[in-house]
Amino acid sequence: MLRVLKEGGVLYLAIPDKRYTFDKDRPVTPIEHLMRDFQEGPTWSRRPHYEEWTRLVNKVTDEGRSRREVEDLMAKRTAIHFHVWTQAELLDLIGRLRRMWAFEVELMFKRENEVLFILRKTITRGDA
């Protein structure tokens, strides 16, 4: 998103905090996972995300039923929360992203089950 946002542009993010959603039993997505998705694209991790979703959100324990559900999710390219975080991990992620892209955090606000960020793109580091 920051790559295509114009200088001075504003990005509004509302990101669920897994602790307050159906994702509560899922492990936090490591930053290294996101970096690999960024570098290689999301295809490598799609199946593992659906497997995790089936096991930890839909609570499917039967192996055969689980395989069928994962195949169905894959075929339909079902929209799920592929990545999950808590407020603490989101703050860490934003801090790390600031080392990669030039932006300011205009606002960070926790609201019910989500964390809101308003980011403003600043002068590109190479252009300063």
Each residue of 44-59: pLDDT tens digit?
Answer: 999 999 999 999 999 9
- Condensed to tens digits (0 to 9), the pLDDT of residues 88-98 reads 999 999 999 99
Closest CA to 23 of 89, 82, 91: 82
Specify whether 9 is located in the same domain as 32: no
Specify whether 38 is located in the same domain as 49: yes
pTM over 0.85: no
Q: Return d(Cα 93, Cα 30) in angstroms, integer.
A: 9
**Which residue, chain included where needed, has tokens 């169905």?**
72
DSSP string, 38-89: HHH-THHHHHHHHHHHHHHTS----HHHHHHHHHHHHHHT-----S-B-HHH
Specify whether 33 is located in the same domain as 74: yes
Total domains in the chain come to 2
Specify whether 9 is located in the same domain as 41: no
Q: Residues 108-128: what's their mean pLDDT?
A: 84
CB proximity list for 60: less than 8 A, separation 6 or greater: 54, 66, 69
Strands 103-111 and 114-121: antiparallel
**Structural domain for 96, as ranges:** 1-17+85-128
Q: What local confidence, expressed as pLDDT, does residue 124 receive?
A: 65
Q: Residues 65-93: what's their mean pLDDT?
A: 96
Question: Is 22 a domain residue?
Answer: no
